[in-house]
Amino acid sequence: MPEIEVTVPRGEVTNALSRVLRSSSFVQSSRLSRFLEFAVQYLLDGKEEALKEYLIGTEVYGRKSNTTPARTRSFAPRPGG
């Protein structure tokens, strides 16, 4: 089946992101909110290929740049974190 590309205006995406971030699940989890906002911004900027565990750990969660993801498994968002 051929892949279909759908373009959603940037403003609609940011408005939807704002609504999601105001939902109770995200209001209660600053870690999850930071992750979602960071990931969506990278996608909107066309940098989705750059989204890697190490980048998320250092940029979103403030991990030290010398941290190795293989030894630190707390980079992934945790519910209620």
Q: Note if the pTM is more than 0.75.
A: no
Confidence class for position 76, pLDDT limits 50, 70, 90:
low
Question: Left, alpha or beta for 12 (phi > 0: left; psi -120 to 50: alpha)?
Answer: alpha
d(CA 45, CA 16): 16
Q: What are the tens digits of pLDDT across the range 6-57? A: 789 999 999 999 999 999 999 999 999 999 999 999 999 999 888 898 889 8
Report the pLDDT value the prediction gives residue 2, as an integer from 0 to 100.
80
User: How confident is residue 71, by pLDDT bands cut at 50, 70 and 90?
Assistant: low
Q: Residue 9's pLDDT is what?
A: 94
* Exposure letters 19-30 (e unless 16+ CB within 10 A, then b): eebeeeebeebe
